Structures are given as C-alpha cells and as structure tokens.
Amino acid sequence: MLDDLHIHDFYRDAGRILLALFNQFPAPATVYVEDIAGPDTPDEFGLHSPRHLACLGAMTWLQQSGYMTFSQLVRQEAVEEAALSHRGFLLLVKKTESGESNAQLLDSAVRNGSSPLLQELMERLMREFASL
C-alpha cells in the first residue's frame, strides 16, 4: 500500500478541527488554519503552501459533509463562526464500549501522534457519522 501522507494529514487536521469546535461548543468560533496545520509562509507571489491549502480543504470538506458549519472563509486564513453541526456534536459525545466519549478518544489519538491509531479512529467516526 502506498504511504498516503496527504490522507494522514487530513485525518490529523480533521481531528484537530473537530476537537477545537468541540472545546468551544456551543459557541461559534473562528478557526485559523495555522492553529491546526502550523505556521505557513506564503511564497513570493503570496500563495500558501500545499500543506496550508490541504488543511483549508479539510475545513471545507468537513462543512460540506455536514460535520460542522461556518459562515464564511476569511481569505485563505480561517473560517468564521464555525461550530459543530448537531450530528457532529452527537458523534463526539457518543460513549464507546470503554466508557470514554469519542471526543476523549480523538483527543488522545491526536495528542499521541500515532497515524495508524488516528486513521483507525477517524475512519470509524466517519462510518458512525454516516449512520447517524
């Protein structure tokens, strides 16, 4: 199997975005790309790095797929008035067999930094979200 680094980055970004919104819930928040993906230095033409744009893409994908809402993009820097959707909130507060919430498991997986663990969890969460 190919090492799909962009997919691993997506899982990490999506996890961090969902946790940021969960930790602010129910208040809408501005979520900055650099807070999720790290600092970015635009090139001499003012264009952001592919990594920065991929994180921005994760934000818009989460919105288009129904995990979160936001009112607008702020240039290519942030999303404004972002919040978990009803289904996104239900997904994260759902308790697992271990008694931990999905949010707790996600927080642990993101902090741990293990790509395989995070990938497994994110794929499970996406399957659960589809059935909500």
Cβ–Cβ under 8 Å, residues 15 and 110: yes
pLDDT band at 25, cuts 50/70/90?
very high
Per-domain residue ranges for the chain? Answer: 5-131
Helix axes 102-112, 86-93, angle to 10 degrees: 80
CB 91: neighbour CB atoms within 10 A?
23
Phi, psi of 94 (to 5 degrees): -60, 130
Confidence (pLDDT) at 121: 97
Confidence (pLDDT) at 1: 44
Interval 74-114: pLDDT, tens: 999 999 999 999 999 999 999 999 999 999 999 999 999 88
Interval 36-69: pLDDT, tens: 999 998 899 989 999 999 999 999 999 999 999 9
Which one-letter DSSP state was computed for residue 101?
B
